[in-house]
Amino acid sequence: SIDIRKQLIKALSDADGEFLSGQTLAEKIGCSRTAIWKHIEELRKDGFILEAVRNKGYKIINTPEDLTESDILFGLETERFGRNIHFYESVESTQKVAHQLAHEGAPEGTIVVSEEQRTGRGRLGRSWSSLPKKGVWMSMIVRPVLPPQKAPQFTLITAVAAANAIGEVTGLHPEIKWPNDILINGKKVVGILTELQAEADKISSLVIGIGINANHDVEDLHESIQGKATSLYIEKRKKISRAQLIQTFLKDFEKYYGIYLDKGFAPIKLLWETYAISIGKVITARTVTGEIVGRALGITDEGVLKVEDEHGTIHEVYSADIEL
Ligand code: BT5
């Protein structure tokens, strides 16, 4: 019976928008038309959207694994973030699309979401694996009236919002590894990339990219990241509604961004510290200019990491890869 269900989903998905009659499906799968009818009802209960037309048969519109623009909008509690959505099935990188939109004047809160990224990117030219329908691959446009030096703080605001949203949606306990990783059980589940368009001494727009591994099974993780990456599904053993995850993240981000604009970075720093893993530990910080080994003391009010080396010298690290 599970087998009929699987074959039915496959037959409908492979039909490429064509209708398949109950008779055709029954013959294909080798069961009765009644069985097909029963399974169609079951699928509907589980959140599949199927169109049925007399004399033509069934067509699949949406599976619960799919994400659509209306899934994101329906139930969204924000005022601005996510109100303007650019949704794609496949793009090179949502960052690239968002930069173009920002350049053309797209308003703050605009988001770009894609089911797949063909060349998703991390920092320093690294790549970000973005399998179709498995994760949240999203970029947001933010336009704070601030000097460009403040941009790195947005990585931390985003990390707090993402960690909080993951906790809310899954009950899992994510941890933040400065500056831009979120880990669960020591493995990376979220990556954040903050990029800046600035003119002279002010930010004209930030494009904040966030990648969340949601419904990957272990074998879906690219071999280059197996062992060091995970997904919410792997940790929770329950499929995650990506729409709910996006909605919760946007609500949290809008809230923390509001607090930041009102009260500055101090309250965000407090929240950030509740999620931080590296603080108090001996770490290696790899920066573009070299390596610093020492104890991570915490972050400054600007969001800069303080590391004390074995000689007692305190280094301020603006950007690095941290090894625990
Ligand atoms: C990041 O870079 O962690 C930032 C990732 C940002 C991705 C989002 S998705 C939406 C938006 N559009 C984009 O094109 N990018 C943003 P970094 O700290 O440099 O980490 C990159 C490293 O993480 C890689 O070198 C891999 O080792 C590892 N990695 C790649 N894909 C991963 C994945 N899906 N899950 C966990 N780790 C991954």
Percentage of the chain exceeding pLDDT 70: 100
224 DSSP assignment: T
Give the closest residue (by CA) to ligand 1 atom 23. 128
Task: Give the side-chain half-sphere CA count within 13 A for 264.
Answer: 5
276 DSSP assignment: B
pLDDT score at 290: 94
pLDDT score at 239: 87
- What is the tens place of the pLDDT at every residue in 178-189? 999 999 999 999
Q: Does 140 contact ligand 1 (Cβ within 6 A)?
A: no
pLDDT score at 66: 87
Question: Which token pair is 272?
Answer: 């950030």
25 DSSP assignment: H
Percentage of the chain exceeding pLDDT 90: 89
Q: Does domain 2-62 have CATH number 1.10.10.10?
A: yes
pLDDT score at 125: 92
Ligand 1 pocket mutation, candidates 87, 112, 128, criterion most atoms within 8 A of CB = 128
pLDDT score at 284: 97
- 212 alpha carbon – ligand 1 mean position (Å): 9
Same fold, 2-62 and 282-323: no
pLDDT score at 258: 98
CATH of 282-323, one of 3.40.250.10, 2.60.40.10, 2.30.30.100, 2.60.40.420: 2.30.30.100
pLDDT score at 301: 87
Q: Which of 311, 246, 318 is nearest to 285 (CA)?
A: 318
Provide φ and ψ at 258, rounded to 5°: -60, -45
Task: Tell me which of 38-47, 139-148, 171-180 is least confident.
Answer: 38-47
Measured between alpha carbons, how far is 162 from 23 in angstroms, rounded to an integer? 47
Measured between alpha carbons, how far is 315 from 69 in angstroms, rounded to an integer? 45
Triad 192, 197, 198: Cα angle to 5°: 130
Measured between alpha carbons, how far is 216 from 107 in angstroms, rounded to an integer? 32
pLDDT score at 159: 98
To the nearest 10 degrees (0 to 180), the angle between helices 266-275 and 242-263 is 140
Q: Does 209 contact ligand 1 (Cβ within 6 A)?
A: yes
- 191 alpha carbon – ligand 1 mean position (Å): 5
Per DSSP, helices labelled H in 65-176 are: 69-73, 94-103, 151-170
pLDDT score at 142: 98
- 213 alpha carbon – ligand 1 mean position (Å): 10
Q: Domain extents for the chain?
A: 2-62, 69-275, 282-323
pLDDT score at 65: 81
- C-beta separation of 82 from 128 below 8 A: no
Measured between alpha carbons, how far is 288 from 168 in angstroms, rounded to an integer? 36
pLDDT band at 200 (very low <50, low <70, confident <90, very high): confident
pLDDT above 90: residue 48: no
Measured between alpha carbons, how far is 261 from 239 in angstroms, rounded to an integer? 35
Give the closest residue (by CA) to ligand 1 atom 34. 129
- What is the tens place of the pLDDT at every residue in 102-147? 999 999 999 999 999 999 999 999 999 999 999 999 999 999 999 9
ipTM of the complex: 0.99
pLDDT score at 114: 98
pLDDT above 90: residue 96: yes
pLDDT score at 223: 93
The dotted CATH code for 69-275 is 3.30.930.10
Q: Can you tell me the mean pLDDT for 223-231?
A: 95
- What is the tens place of the pLDDT at every residue in 273-302? 999 998 999 999 999 999 999 999 999 988
- 210 alpha carbon – ligand 1 mean position (Å): 8
Indicate left, alpha or beta for 246 from its phi (over 0: left) and psi (-120 to 50: alpha).
alpha
